[in-house]
Structure formats: structure tokens, C-alpha cells
């Protein structure tokens, strides 16, 4: 199964109140689930990585063979693709978490930069996460072939 994800982290202020939003689709565009919630106070870049980490953890519950992530964070995409160095100490920790998950993953991973207008749904979820104040949660649809445990 190919999973296509749109991820976004938002911060009102830098640092400021932050949230994340993720939409998971199958290759045909059917929504499998969404992730959103409040992250507390952090920078926008930290929120972007938090969204990606939430995505990777959720995809571990799906029979995924390939994950294609779309993000409007050019910095994160370029860092993960090896074009930019990660200098910030907090981001280095998050990058290490991403790499640890991907090292154990049973799927191929690809991350692509998209412009903000192509990521509007994930942005909306991230802003709802800030406004709601609720913890991050995954909402699976009836279409999601969710597996009970993560390997």
C-alpha cells in the first residue's frame, strides 16, 4: 500500500502556541485518517518536525510499503534530503527521532516540498490543533486498514 501524507506544523509566534496537522491518503486519494492537536510552546520548525513524527508513528499502524510525505517546510525537506545541515540542537534531536523510526520502518520513505496552497488541509488541521488546545490524536476513517500493533 502506498500512503501519501500532507504534514504541517504551525506556530503563532516563534516560539509560540503550536499545533500540528496531518492528512493520510492512499494512492487513489481516499482519506485514511487525520492527525491534529496542540503542541504547547515551540518554534515553527519544531512543530513541522513534530507533525512529521506524528505521521511516521501513525503510518506504523498501516500496511504501508511506501510513504510519500508532502510538506511546505522547505527547511525540513532539505534537511532530511541532505541539502541543508541541521544546526539547531532541538531540531537535531527531532531529526534523530525521525531517522530512528525510518531505520526500523518496513516501507520506503520519500519527502517532497510543496507550496503552501497545496498543503491547505494540513495547515487547517494544524491551526485547529492550536485553537482546540487538545492533545495530539489520530482519527482513522473507516477506509483505513489499521493494524493493532506497531512493529
Residues whose CB is less than 8 angstroms from the CB of residue 146 and which lie 6 or more positions away in sequence, other chains included: 33, 61, 62, 140
Q: Helix or strand or coil: residue 66?
A: strand
| Digit-coded pLDDT (tens) for 50-89 | 999 999 999 999 999 999 999 999 999 999 999 999 999 9
Query: Hey, where are the domains in the chain?
Result: 2-139
pLDDT at 150 (0 to 100): 47
User: CATH homologous superfamily of domain 2-139?
Assistant: Ribonuclease H-like superfamily/Ribonuclease H (3.30.420.10)
- Tell me the average pLDDT across 22-41: 97
d(CA 5, CA 67): 7
Q: Helix or strand or coil: residue 52?
A: helix
Inform me whether the pLDDT recorded for 15 exceeds 80. Answer: yes
pLDDT at 149 (0 to 100): 58
Q: What is the pLDDT confidence band of residue 151, given thresholds at 50, 70 and 90?
A: very low
Amino acid at each position: 500500500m502506498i500512503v501519501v501524507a500532507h504534514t504541517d506544523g504551525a506556530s503563532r509566534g516563534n516560539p509560540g502556541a503550536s499545533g500540528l496537522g496531518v492528512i493520510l491518503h492512499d494512492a487513489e486519494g481516499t482519506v485514511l485518517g487525520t492527525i491534529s492537536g496542540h503542541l504547547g510552546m515551540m518554534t515553527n520548525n519544531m512543530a513541522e518536525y513534530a507533525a512529521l513524527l506524528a505521521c511516521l508513528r501513525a503510518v506504523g499502524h498501516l500496511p504501508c510499503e511506501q510513504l510519500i510525505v508532502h510538506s511546505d517546510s522547505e527547511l525540513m525537506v532539505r534537511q532530511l534530503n541532505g541539502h541543508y545541515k541541521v544546526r539547531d540542537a532541538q531540531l537535531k534531536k527531532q531529526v534523530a527521532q525521525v531517522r530512528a523510526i525510518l531505520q526500523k520502518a518496513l516501507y520506503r520513505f520519500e519527502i517532497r516540498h510543496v507550496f503552501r496552497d497545496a498543503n491547505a488541509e494540513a495547515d487547517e488541521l494544524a491551526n485547529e490543533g492550536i485553537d482546540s488546545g487538545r492533545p495530539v490524536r489520530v482519527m482513522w476513517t473507516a477506509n483505513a486498514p489499521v493494524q493493532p500493533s506497531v512493529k
